[in-house]
């Protein structure tokens, strides 16, 4: 998964590869219509949240190793709070916003359907241009499509109100958990 996302991160910053897929922006505009901006924002939010989560893992892993060397038990909540609090508030807030944007996309059935159609077309184009696109890049797009499919399954059968409640709950739980960890570590 890391390789697929790293390859994809390089891919999205390569205009020849992007335009080689889309042919022209008019094709994307036609396929996505009014959802074009939201589709790109969702894609970049997903990629950014992955990169941020990976950075969090490194920061938290480093803190966890430090605490383990001190003989601390990571299953103890107050010790784990120290690990969680090692992430900056700014980064935690940005990550939460990216995750919410991703979940908002997953809960938008019309947008999700259009993005999945476009991704299927992208995968087919990439597979037909093996000299331009690597297998890792294809796998990155396919991984993204798989995440969208699972997200679609998650929200299927729910009303808009139920989806909105879930999004609010995700935001509040993430925010509360981080702030509680900070408060525990700072002793307030």
Please report the DSSP string for the chain in residue order: -HHHHHHHHHHHT-HHHHHHHHSSHHHHHHHHGGGHHHHHHHHHHHHHHHHHHHHHHHHHHHHHHHHHHTT--TTSHHHHHHHHTTS-HHHHHHHHHHHHHHHHHHT-HHHHHHHHHHHHHHHHHHHH-TTTS-HHHHHHHHHHHHHHHHHHHHHTT--HHHHHHHHHHHHHHHHHHHHHHHHHHHT-
**Looking up tokens 């700014």, which residue turns up?**
90
Rounded to the nearest angstrom, the gap between the alpha carbon of residue 4 and the centroid of all alpha carbons in its chain is 13
Does residue 69 have a pLDDT over 90? yes
Residues in the chain: 188
pLDDT confidence of 13, banded at 50, 70, 90? low
What are the residues whose beta carbons fall under 8 Å from the beta carbon of 175, sequence distance 6 or more? 96
Q: What is the pLDDT of residues 110-143, one digit of tens each?
A: 888 877 877 787 788 888 888 888 888 888 888 8
Mean pLDDT score, 153-179: 90
Does residue 144 have a pLDDT over 90? no
pLDDT confidence of 6, banded at 50, 70, 90? low
- Is the pTM value of this prediction over 0.75? no
| Rounded CA separation 155/176 (Å) | 24
DSSP state, 74? T
Domain residue limits, the chain: 2-186
The residue among 11 and 105 whose pLDDT is bigger is 105
Per-residue pLDDT at 24: 43
Report percent pLDDT > 90 for the chain.
25
Mean pLDDT score, 61-73: 96
Does residue 166 have a pLDDT over 80? yes
Per-residue pLDDT at 23: 60
Buried b / exposed e over 174-185, threshold 16 CB at 10 Å, is: beeebeebbebe
């Amino acid at each position: 998964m890391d390789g697929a996302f790293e390859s994809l991160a390089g891919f999205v910053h390569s205009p020849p590869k992007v335009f080689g897929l889309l042919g022209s922006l008019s094709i994307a505009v036609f396929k996505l219509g009014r959802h074009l901006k939201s589709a790109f924002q969702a894609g970049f939010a997903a990629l950014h949240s992955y990169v941020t989560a990976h950075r969090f893992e490194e920061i938290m892993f480093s803190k966890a190793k430090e605490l383990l060397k001190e003989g601390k038990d990571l299953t103890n909540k107050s010790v784990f709070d120290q690990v969680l609090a090692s992430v900056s508030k700014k980064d935690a807030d940005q990550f939460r916003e990216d995750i919410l944007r991703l979940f908002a996309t997953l809960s938008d059935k019309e947008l999700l359907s259009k993005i999945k159609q476009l991704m299927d077309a992208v995968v087919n184009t990439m597979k037909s241009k093996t000299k331009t696109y690597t297998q890792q890049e294809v796998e990155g797009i396919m991984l993204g499509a798989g995440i969208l499919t699972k997200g679609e399954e998650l929200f299927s059968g729910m009303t808009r109100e139920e989806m909105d409640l879930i999004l609010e709950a995700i935001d509040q739980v993430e925010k509360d958990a981080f702030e509680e960890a900070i408060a525990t570590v700072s002793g307030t």
